[in-house]
Amino acid sequence: MLRIAIDGPGGTGKSTIAKAIASRFGIEYIDTGAMYRSIALKSVREGVNPDDVDAVEEMLSRTTIDFADNHVYLDGEDVGGLIRTNEISMAASNISKLPVVRAKVDAVSKHIASIKSVVMEGRDICTEVLPDAEVKIFMTADPKIRAQRRYDQLVEAGKPADFDEIYADIQQRDYQDSHRDYHPLRQAEDAVFLDTSHMTIEENIEAIERIVKESQDNVEIQNTDN
Ligand code: DC
């Protein structure tokens, strides 16, 4: 089993990188943020207030979430195309502070990682979901650079983009995700720190590949010693 856990703030390019790493090692990619986004989508659709814990709990009692073959399913519906908006990003950050919501996503995530090798990315994978993962990485980048990357992506896709708004959203989400009471974003003590501010995507992938290979070499050396 090879479990590669990657945590870090939003907009660091974790998804792109994790997907590439998964394909290079021939293992599955699990995007836990997509699961929080799906729950947020359902709450927005139904008008459920994320501060009303009873209402959220009731909603969760009739919700199934699954992640398979790079697709997230909300009650059986592939919602991948609906969850990448600013509204859903913020709603996901809001609703993910609730322990009942985290328990739901954790159960799905842990189950998948118990039956197959994965690259799993999110905010609390190294600290809470897979604390004994073979490889743990904390990936971050300067918030201004993350905002610029997002801005460039939108412009390239011909979509409306306002740098100041994007930068403000990134800062607010960073704050919320790292200051909530329950399972906040933080670097696990034994995670490798990777600042990707000045790396290209290819350099970033290579850096992670190196970290994975080094950790595998270490495991082999330990096994030989024993
Ligand atoms: O990684 P992302 O931007 O798709 O995540 C969306 C939100 O979901 C993020 O702002 C906080 C929440 N999240 C979380 O709390 N824990 C995770 N493991 C992944 C995401």
Q: Sheet of 77-78: strands edge to edge?
A: 65-68, 71-74, 77-78
**Whole-number pLDDT of residue 112:** 97
Say if strands 118-122 and 3-7 run parallel, antiparallel, or are unpaired.
Answer: parallel
Residue 211, SS3? helix
174-211 confidence digits (pLDDT tens) = 999 999 999 999 999 999 999 999 999 999 999 999 99
- Residue 68: both structure tokens together: 């398979």
Residue 189, SS3? coil
26-81 confidence digits (pLDDT tens) = 999 999 999 999 999 999 999 999 999 999 999 999 999 998 888 999 999 999 99
**Whole-number pLDDT of residue 68:** 87
121-164 confidence digits (pLDDT tens) = 999 999 999 999 999 999 999 999 999 999 999 999 999 999 99
Beta bridge partners of 172: none
* pTM confidence score: 0.94
- Which residue is closest in CA terms to ligand 1's atom 4? 33
- Centre of ligand 1 to C-alpha 101, Å, is 12
173 lines ligand 1 (CB under 6 A): yes
Please measure the distance between the N-terminal and C-terminal CA atoms of the chain and give it in whole angstroms: 19
- Centre of ligand 1 to C-alpha 122, Å, is 6
Residue 30 phi/psi, 5-degree rounding, is -125, 120
**Statement: residue 224 has pLDDT above 60:** no
Cβ neighbour number for residue 220 with a 10 Å cutoff: 9
**Whole-number pLDDT of residue 220:** 64
Architecture of domain 3-218: 3-Layer(aba) Sandwich (3.40)
Q: Which residues contact 162 (CB under 8 A, 6 or more apart)?
A: none
77-100 confidence digits (pLDDT tens) = 999 999 999 899 999 999 999 999
Residue 123, SS3? coil
Residues 13 and 22: their CA atoms lie apart, in Å, by 14
